[in-house]
Amino acid sequence: MRILVVGAGVIGTIYGWLLSEAGHQVTHLLRPGKAGRFVDGVSLDVLDKRKGYAGNLRLRYPVAVTEVIEDDYELVIVPTKPYQLIDALQRLAPEVRAGATYLLLTQNWAGTAAIDAVIPRDRYLFGDAQAGGTFIDGTLVCAIFPKIVLGRVDGGRDPALDRVAAIFADAGVRPVVPPDVLHFIWIQYAINAGLWPPMVRAGSLRGLLRDRALGTASLLAAAECLRVTAARGVDLDAFPETRLFLRTTSPLGRLVAAMAMRLLFRFGKAVNRTSAHALADPREITTAYHDLVTTGRRLGVAMPVMDGFEADVTAFAGLAAEK
């Protein structure tokens, strides 16, 4: 399959390499003047959790790049921050062929009206990347998990979704198609929105895990954010990943959840790699915080723990603006 990946950031590079290794023709679309940076490719240090694949790899990915859309691509992968998505689609839509499928590897909270105004709903899929990492001294240090979440906003399966699922399956990544992919993404967005503010106060993920009070606050904040998704009509019982946070209604539940989170990050090398960039984008963090708090207030959901971190998030945004 001919695949266009927008950019060469963390997620785009990981999946570009993975699909290229599986035999697909992958090209990365870069901004004008950026192609020269990739003459020698990209160095990767990969912790590969796919079944049957080498666990640790160090290699150079010979990235194929372009600054203009000239080929007839069948799939366009758009790995962006939520606040970048519409601008990216507006640039792509006039130049990408009408039959191409877009895979939007992005978070979402605002719904799809703005997306639908740029490209028809039957042209795009949502996906949740089960991979991540960060660039260290020019090398992408990352981890890949053996699944990816894909789906149509309106649910169901169709040939385009099946084709995209098949190329990931061929690459050793099991496609998971939830009944409601947008609700799945809202759940992930809400959890992140709750975990980030205590991490901002702690200064790092490591600092958060060392501070028992802040660790507990992060679980409580995530639980508040999940209750906002429930108020929007999401069935939390349908998503097992919410149980860790919803246990926090009792002291014993909070203790068990805090211990589980510490163990996950202390001994989970892959999780540590995928969360290494946790505080890298202040705009993403502050946007998520205000999205959840604003929606919670509108829907009458009490969020005292999240409210208590407003000053931290505001200061974090201010420091980022000064850089």
End-to-end CA distance of the chain, in Å?
41
Residue matched to tokens 């995209």: 164
* Residues 86-140 pLDDT 10s: 999 999 999 998 889 999 999 999 999 999 999 999 999 999 999 999 999 999 9
Query: Counting beta carbons within 10 angstroms of the beta carbon of residue 131, is it exposed (0 to 12), middle (13 to 18) or buried (19 or more)?
Result: buried
pLDDT in tens, 297-307: 999 999 999 99
What value does the mean pLDDT take over residues 63-80? 95
Q: Where are the beta strands (DSSP E) in the chain?
A: 2-6, 25-29, 42-48, 56-61, 65-66, 75-78, 101-105, 124-128, 131-136, 139-144, 147-151, 174-176
CB 6 within 8 A of CB 15: no
Comparing 11-15, 19-23, 288-292, 315-319, the range with the smallest average pLDDT is: 315-319
**Ranges 8-12, 104-108, 193-197, 210-214: which has the least confidence:** 210-214
Task: Give the largest CA-CA distance in the chain.
Answer: 59
- Give the mean pLDDT of 4-30: 96
Q: Supply the pLDDT for residue 284.
A: 94
Q: What percent of the chain has pLDDT over 90?
A: 76
Identify the helix (H) or strand (E) that includes residue 246.
helix 243-246
Q: Is residue 18 within 8 Å of residue 10, measured between CB atoms?
A: no
Residue 195 pLDDT more than 80?
A: yes
* 323 pLDDT more than 60: no
Q: Token pair for residue 19? A: 């699909």
Instruction: Tell me the domains of the chain and their CATH numbers.
Output: 2-177 (3.40.50.720), 183-322 (1.10.1040)
Strand order in the sheet with 139-144: 56-61, 42-48, 139-144, 131-136
- When mean pLDDT is compared across 50-54, 186-190, 230-234, 290-294, the lowest value belongs to 50-54
Consecutive H or E run containing 31: none
pLDDT beyond 90 at 322? no
How is residue 158 written in tokens? 């169709």
Q: Write down the pLDDT at residue 270.
A: 80
Please tell me the distance from the alpha carbon of residue 184 to that of residue 218, in angstroms, as a whole number.
Answer: 20
As a whole number, mean pLDDT of residues 180-205 equals 95
Task: Compute the average pLDDT of residues 241-263.
Answer: 73
Say if residue 197's pLDDT is above 60: yes
Share of the chain above pLDDT 70, in %: 93
When mean pLDDT is compared across 46-55, 80-89, 264-273, 308-317, the lowest value belongs to 264-273
| Cα–Cα distance measured from residue 15 to residue 65, given in angstroms and rounded to the nearest whole number | 14
Structure tokens at 69: 């859309």
The pLDDT, as a whole number, for residue 262 is 67
Model-level pTM?
0.92
In b/e form, how buried is each residue of 149-166, taking b as 16+ CB within 10 angstroms? bbbbbeeeeeebbeebbe
Mean pLDDT of the chain: 91
**Stretch 203-209: mean pLDDT:** 86
User: Using CA atoms, how far apart are residues 9 and 5, in angstroms rounded to an integer?
Assistant: 10
For the segment 253-279, what is each residue's pLDDT rounded down to a tens digit?
666 666 666 666 665 788 778 887 788
In order, the DSSP letters of 3-17 are: EEEE--SHHHHHHHH
Residue linked to tokens 């969360």: 275
Rounded CA separation 153/203 (Å): 36
pLDDT band at 70 (very low <50, low <70, confident <90, very high): confident
171 near 109, Cβ under 8 Å?
A: no
